[in-house]
Amino acid sequence: MIRAAKGGLLGRVVEGYVGWKFRSAFRGLWVRGPLDGGPEPRLVYANHSNWWDGFVLHQLGRAAGWDAYCVMEEHNLARYRFLARLGAFSIRRGEGASSLETLRYARELLQKPRAAVCIFPEGELRPFGARAPRLERGVELLARVGQVPCVPLAIRYVFLEHERPDVLVEVGEAHAAAPLARFQKELEDAVRRLEAVTSLEGFTLRVSGARGVAERWDAVRGRRHHG
């Protein structure tokens, strides 16, 4: 198993690079719903539709003040080992011993103040809204061993009226450990609510990104008109 290795000079360098990369790619990270930044640890579970998803959770965790970690397939984490500096730790799917080791490690993390252990329970990339999420049992097992609030998140990448895409996050209501069907319903409901969004009304900007050409031009014109 590969454990998270947050902190240190390399960790700060990786965090800085990922933050710059995210802000240069997107116009902003917008959140709707109760994003709790309190000291209580939490299990966060989200849909998985894009390569950027893990970095979105990293940026969201920083904005919320979480000590965030993320479960990742071991062969992928071994390939991109630097992600452990952002809080990634591994699991080998289909191997009982590996799953138990990961569960024990996640339980240790969930005893830390502000810890947020994040998981993509679909287990694979699936296009947003193409069909209802189908979840694997890992999220239910993590919830049972952790006994912490479970927070559903839906993530969507969208072009609205601007040149650059925005990242939208719908935060569902936290709930206690429950059978898998509860996780399925909560995540599906969050995805459906986000799928219906056509504007940024009701969302709060949590991470600012890059402005497009039109926005920069409008800013220049505004300064000229005030000059």
CA dihedral (32, 36, 41, 44) in degrees, to 10, reads 0
C-alpha to C-alpha distances, 205 to 31, 64, 166, 190, nearest whole angstrom: 6, 12, 10, 18
Q: Is residue 193 part of a domain?
A: yes
Q: What would the pLDDT profile of 163-182 be if each residue is shown by its tens digit?
A: 889 999 999 999 999 999 99
CATH number at residue 130: 3.40.1130.10
pLDDT over 70 percentage in the chain:
93
Mean pLDDT of 28-33: 96
Least confident of 13-27, 85-99, 103-117, 159-173: 85-99
Mean pLDDT of the chain: 90
Whether residue 2 lies inside any domain: the answer is no
- Is residue 1, in this structure, part of any structural domain at all? no
Question: For residue 69, is pLDDT > 80?
Answer: yes
User: Would you say residue 149 lies in a domain?
Assistant: yes
Does residue 3 sit within a domain? no
Q: Which of 30-34, 51-55, 127-131 has the lowest mean pLDDT?
A: 127-131
Residues near 226 by beta carbon (within 8 Å), at least 6 away in sequence: none
Distances (CA, A) of 99 to 65, 111, 146: 28, 19, 14
Supply the range of the domain harboring residue 135: 8-226
What is d(CA 108, CA 102) in angstroms, rounded to the nearest whole number?
10
CA angle (61 as vertex; 45, 182 as ends), nearest 5: 20
Is 94 contained in some domain?
A: yes
Q: Tell me which of 227 and 206 has the higher pLDDT.
A: 206
Whether 42 maps to a domain, the answer reads yes
Which amino acid would we find at residue 113? P
Q: Looking at residue 171, what is its pLDDT?
A: 97
First to last CA, the chain: 61
Band the pLDDT of 212: cuts 50, 70, 90: low
Q: Is pLDDT of 38 > 90?
A: no
pLDDT at 218 over 80: no
Per-residue pLDDT, averaged over 64-71, amounts to: 95
Q: How many domains does the chain have?
A: 1
Contact criterion met (CB below 8 Å) for 214 and 162: yes
Task: Give me the torsion for CA of 50, 54, 56, 61, rounded to 10°.
Answer: 160
Confidence bin at 214 (pLDDT 50/70/90): low
* Average pLDDT, integer, range 64-91: 94
Element (H, E) at 180: helix 180-195
Which pLDDT band, with edges at 50, 70 and 90, does 155 fall under?
very high
> What pLDDT score was predicted for residue 132?
72
130-152: per-residue pLDDT in tens? 677 789 899 999 999 999 999 99
Please say if the pLDDT value at position 52 is more than 90: yes
Closest CA to 119 of 149, 86, 89: 89
pLDDT, position 129: 76
Q: What is the residue-wise DSSP string for 75-112? A: HHHHHTGGGGGGTEEEE-TT-HHHHHHHHHHHHHHTTS
Residue 74 has pLDDT above 90, yes or no: yes
Task: Indicate whether 122 pLDDT > 60.
Answer: yes
